[in-house]
Amino acid sequence: MKFSAFLFIKAILLLFTAVGVALLVFLFRMNIDTFMGYLISGVFIVLPVFLYLCFFTNIRLQFSSSSTTPPDTITYDTLGFYIVEPRWNRNKYIAWDTIKSIIYQDRPKIEDSFNTRFHITLNRPVDIIPTGTPFFLDRIFGVPGAKALYIYITDDNYGFNTLQKGIQEHLNPDADFSDSRKGRLINETRTTNGSTTQTTQQWEPRTGSSGHRIIYERKEIRNNSRF
Q: Would the pLDDT of 223 be above 60?
A: no
Same domain, 56 and 154: no
In which order are the strands placed within the sheet that holds 80-85?
73-76, 80-85, 90-95, 127-130
Q: Would the pLDDT of 95 be above 70?
A: yes
Whether 10 maps to a domain, the answer reads yes
**Could you say which of 66, 89, 114 is where a domain stops?**
66
Residue 82: the pLDDT is 95
Same domain, 213 and 116: yes
Whether 107 maps to a domain, the answer reads yes
Computed from CA positions of residues 102, 165, 66, 138, in that sequence, does the dihedral angle turn out positive or negative?
positive
Residue 205: the pLDDT is 55
Same domain, 166 and 127: yes
Q: Would the pLDDT of 89 be above 50?
A: yes
Same domain, 59 and 126: no
- Specify the higher pLDDT residue, 62 or 48: 48
Return the closest-CA partner of residue 214 out of 180, 166, 183.
Answer: 180
Global pTM?
0.58
Same domain, 213 and 153: yes
Whether 178 maps to a domain, the answer reads no
Whether 201 maps to a domain, the answer reads no
Question: For the purposes of burial, counting CB atoms within 10 Å of the CB of 118, is it exposed (0-12), middle (13-18) or buried (19 or more)?
Answer: buried
Whether 194 maps to a domain, the answer reads no
Summary count for the chain: helices (H), strands (E):
4, 10
**Could you say which of 35, 50, 66 is where a domain stops?**
66
Residue 61: the pLDDT is 46
Same domain, 38 and 148: no
Overall number of domains in the chain? 2
Same domain, 90 and 155: yes
Same domain, 131 and 81: yes
> Which domain range does residue 50 map to?
5-66
Same domain, 59 and 86: no
Quick: pLDDT tens for 140-190. Answer: 667 777 888 999 998 888 888 899 999 999 999 988 887 666 656 667 777
Same domain, 95 and 150: yes
Whether 28 maps to a domain, the answer reads yes
Quick: pLDDT tens for 100-135. Answer: 999 998 765 544 555 788 999 999 999 999 888 776
